[in-house]
A and B are shown apart, each in its own frame.
Chain A
Amino acid sequence: AQSVSQHNHHVILSEAASLELGCNYSYGGTVNLFWYVQYPGQHLQLLLKYFSGDPLVKGIKGFEAEFIKSKFSFNLRKPSVQWSDTAEYFCAVNLFSGGYNKLIFGAGTRLAVHP
């Protein structure tokens, strides 16, 4: 069955530290990859997405992610986090089936950034 694994459930960082959140998926077909963020009390917002082309994608708020097909990975990075990055981060894979699609989410990583 298709699945998405996020390796870190909780991450605690100080401001200005670098961030890398791991995401691996298991699916051999065509995939689109996403990172969503959920700030406290808010809804899911798209950080960035990969469909094709350059495997290094840049998103909003200084985030970027690299798609490594051979490793089935799509890790999220940010060189210097801020307190306002405190949120839960979800990796998701968009699976196509019969012309329709659906998102398969990872379990999420809760990031706490301390000033």
Chain B
Amino acid sequence: EPEVTQTPSHQVTQMGQEVILRCVPISNHLYFYWYRQILGQKVEFLVSFYNNEISEKSEIFDDQFSVERPDGSNFTLKIRSTKLEDSAMYFCASRERGDYNEQFFGPGTRLTVL
């Protein structure tokens, strides 16, 4: 069964450093998402992406964040200058065309900012 994959599974970085989290969505999916879950808190929507542009972003997704689909298979989330409060689990998700299709989630990347 096809699945969403994410790398790395765990990333440790120093405050102020740039990080890139990578996702490979399911191949025929057209809509892509990033969510995050700070330890002990709920899963929060960050951004949705369709047709090579952001379709919606939350207030969390400020200028420090960017997303890209550089090569037609990968979908990346970049944090330009990490802060302590960026420490969280980051989940990528993708879905097919059509309003009634579920989002499939990847296993997540645990980001720890020191």
Binding site for B on A (CB under 8 A): 32, 34, 36, 42-46, 49, 51, 90, 92, 96-108
* Interface residue stretch chosen among B11-19, B72-80, B105-113: B105-113
**A100 to B41, Cβ gap below 8 A?**
no
Q: Taking the complex as formed, is B63 at the interface, i.e. its CB lies under 8 A from any CB of chain A?
A: no
Q: Which of B55, B102, B106 has the most chain A CB atoms inside 10 A of its CB?
A: B102
**A106 to B42, Cβ gap below 8 A?**
yes
- Min Cβ gap A33→B in Å is 11
Binding site for A on B (CB under 8 A): 31, 33, 35, 41-45, 48, 50, 55-56, 91, 93, 99-100, 102-108
Report how many A-B pairs have Cβ atoms within 8 Å. 54
Q: Across the interface, which residues of A come within 8 angstroms of B107, CB to CB?
A: 42-43
24 inter-chain pairs at a CB distance below 8 angstroms, sorted by A residue, are A32-B100, A36-B105, A43-B105, A43-B108, A44-B43, A44-B91, A44-B105, A46-B104, A90-B43, A97-B56, A98-B55, A99-B55, A100-B31, A100-B48, A101-B48, A101-B99, A102-B45, A102-B56, A103-B35, A103-B43, A104-B45, A105-B35, A105-B42, A105-B43
